[in-house]
Copies of this chain bind each other. A is one copy, B any other.
Amino acid sequence: MSVRDGLVFLSDTRTNAGVDHVSTFRKMTVFEQPGERVLVVLAAGNLALTQSVIQLLTEPAGAGQQTMWTAPNVYEAARVIGEAVREVHKLHSHALQDFGVEFNCSFLLGGQIHGQAMRLFQIYAAGNFIEASTINPYFQIGEAKYGKPIIDRVLTPDTPLAEAEKCALISMDSTLRSNVSVGLPLDLLVYERDSLRVTRFTQLDNDNAYFQMIHNTWGARLRQVFAEIPEPDWSPVGALPATARRPAMPPRATLPPGFDGAAPTADAPLQILAQEP
Contact = CB atoms under 8 A, between A and B. Distances in A.
Interface string A206-229: 001111111001110111011011
A153 interface: yes
Contacts of A149: 146-147, 149, 174-175, 177-178
Given A145-B146, A242-B209, A259-B54, A30 B272 contact: yes
Contact of A232 (B24, B33, B162, B259): B162
Nearest to A147: B149
Interface stretch (A72-80, A120-128, A261-269): A261-269
A274 interface: yes
Given A177-B152, A231-B166, A29 B273 contact: yes
A261 B152 CA distance: 33
Interface in A28-65: 28-34, 47, 51, 54-55, 58-60
A209 B233 CA distance: 11
A275 interface: yes
A99 to B, nearest CB: 19
A244 B202 contact: yes
Interface stretch (A89-97, A101-109, A129-137, A245-253): A245-253
Contacts of A23: 263
Given A145-B145, A165-B231, A177-B153, A203 B273 contact: no
A276 interface: yes
Nearest to A169: B232
Contacts of A205: 266
A229 B202 contact: no
Contacts of A117: none
A233 B200 CA distance: 10
A241 interface: yes
Contact of A244 (B153, B167, B204, B266): B204
B59 A277 contact: yes
A209 B203 CA distance: 45
Contacts of A160: 231
B145 A264 contact: no
A26 interface: yes
B228 A221 contact: yes
Interface of A: 13, 23-26, 28-34, 47, 51, 54-55, 58-60, 67-70, 143, 145-150, 152-154, 160, 162-163, 165-167, 169-170, 174-175, 177-179, 185, 187-190, 198-205, 208-214, 217-219, 221-223, 225-226, 228-234, 241-247, 249, 252, 255, 258-259, 261, 263-264, 266, 270-277
